[in-house]
Amino acid sequence: MKTPLFLLLAVLCSAAAFAQLQPAPPAPPVPQRTLHTAPPGQPPAMPKDTANYLIIVKWTDTKAGTNALQVLTSEGSFSLETIQASTRINDSDIPITVSFNGNIYPLSADKARLKIFLGRTVPYVTSTYMGGAGQQSSSYQQMRVGFDSAFTVTFGKPMVIQSDKNGEVSILVKREE
C-alpha cells in the first residue's frame, strides 16, 4: 500500500516542480509622448491646413415652396435647431421646427464625407372634444420626420440628395480658406 502512495507522491512532486511560475518578461519601454499645449488663455494649436465649410441646404415642397438654410462650421460635428413656420390649431400657433445636424470630415482638398440629419417636427391632431361654452378643442402631438444619410461631396458642386413627387432636397458644400 505504501508503494502506490509513494509513486503518486513522486509524480505529483515532479509535476509541481515543472509547473513553477516563470517570471514575466519585462514590459517594453513606453515611448515618451510630448504634449503640445497652448499658453494659458489661448486656444489650442490647430493644424495649418484647417478650413471652414459653408453647408447650404435647399428644399422645395409642392405646398410650401422653397426653403433654405446654411451653416458655417469647421471639421467635425454641427447642429442647428430652428423654427421654420407655424400652423394654427384651435386659435393657437404651433411651431414647426427644422433640425439640421451632422458631421463633416475632409477627405482631400476638394472632397469631404458628410453625414447629416435634416428633419422637422410636424404637428398633428390626436383628438377633438367640446370644450367650455360649446367651443371645439383639439389635442395634438408633434412627430419628427426627416432624412438621415452619409455621402461624399465635392466642394462647390451642388447635388440632389433626395427627390420625390412632393419635392427635392439639394446640398452644396463650399470650402472657405
Q: What phi, psi does 133 have (nearest 5°)?
A: 60, 30
Q: What one-character DSSP code corresponds to residue 166?
A: T
Strand 92-106 and strand 167-176: pairing?
unpaired
Full-model pTM:
0.64
| pLDDT number for residue 159 | 95
Q: What phi, psi does 174 have (nearest 5°)?
A: -120, 135
- pLDDT (tens, 9 = 90+) of the chain, 177 residues, equals 566 555 555 555 555 555 555 565 666 676 655 555 556 666 555 555 688 999 999 988 887 788 899 999 999 999 988 877 777 777 777 778 888 999 999 999 999 999 999 988 877 778 887 777 777 777 777 888 888 999 999 999 999 999 988 889 999 999 987
* Cβ-contact 109, 118 below 8 angstroms: no
C-alpha cell of residue 67 = 426653403
* Cβ-contact 105, 116 below 8 angstroms: no
| pLDDT number for residue 18 | 52
Which of these, 145, 141, 96, 101, lies nearest to 119 by C-alpha position? 145
Which of these, 172, 169, 171, lies nearest to 61 by C-alpha position? 169
| pLDDT number for residue 14 | 56
